[in-house]
Amino acid sequence: MAKETMKLVANNKKAYHDYFIEEKYEAGLVLHGTEVKSLRMGKCSIKEAYIRIEDGEVWVYGCHISPYEKGNIFNKDPLRPKKLLLHKGQIDKLFGQIKEKGYTLMPLQVYFSNGKAKIEIGLARGKKLYDKRNDIAKKDAKREAERDFKVRNLG
């Protein structure tokens, strides 16, 4: 079995801060020629992106792929909706789950896997303000404990 190569292009850290990620899925990304070249150069942002299921197809909106400098007339609109490739069973399952109250689909990261553009999407449930505060408090406590551990071992 060949070694799988993965090159990360864009990461959505805000999604982990604002949402509980219940499940993760890997989906293919339908792109046009110059978009792939721009993506290979790392010119992609998914901070404001969101995902919708329409007519049995999954689309990502707000995923900004900058126009390729040498692409001239072949460049597409940077914010155009991009189709995601998932199995029919996965789409039906996700559609059923996002009909439940409080669930949404979030793009988590864009990457190349074995030369193909992929996007990791997460089934997410929104966090309340007190959940976010709790996460920040845990992170601070962990950082403080690591700092104390480091000071004790150096001294």
The per-residue pLDDT for range 96-109, each reduced to its tens digit, is 888 877 788 888 88
Structure tokens of 115? 């030369």
In a domain? residue 145: no
**Choice between 134 and 89, residue whose per-residue pLDDT is larger:** 89
CATH number where 43 lies: 2.40.280.10
* Confidence at residue 71, expressed as pLDDT on a 0 to 100 scale: 64
φ/ψ region of 62 (left if φ > 0, alpha if ψ in -120 to 50, else beta) reads left
Angstrom CA distances, 137 to 10, 133, 142, stand at 27, 6, 9
- pLDDT surpassing 80 at residue 68: no
Residue 24 belongs to what domain range?
Answer: 6-127
**Choice between 89 and 5, residue whose per-residue pLDDT is larger:** 89
Residue with tokens 């976010």: 132
In a domain? residue 135: no
In a domain? residue 117: yes
Structure tokens of 25? 């899925």
Burial 63-75 (b: 16+ CB within 10 A, else e): bebebbeeeeeeb
Q: Give backbone dihedrals phi and psi of 77, rounded to 5 degrees, phi first.
A: -60, 125
Summarize pLDDT for 17-52 with one digit per residue, the tens: 778 888 888 888 888 777 888 888 888 888 888 888
In a domain? residue 149: no
In a domain? residue 150: no
- Whole-prediction pTM: 0.72
Number of domains, the chain = 1
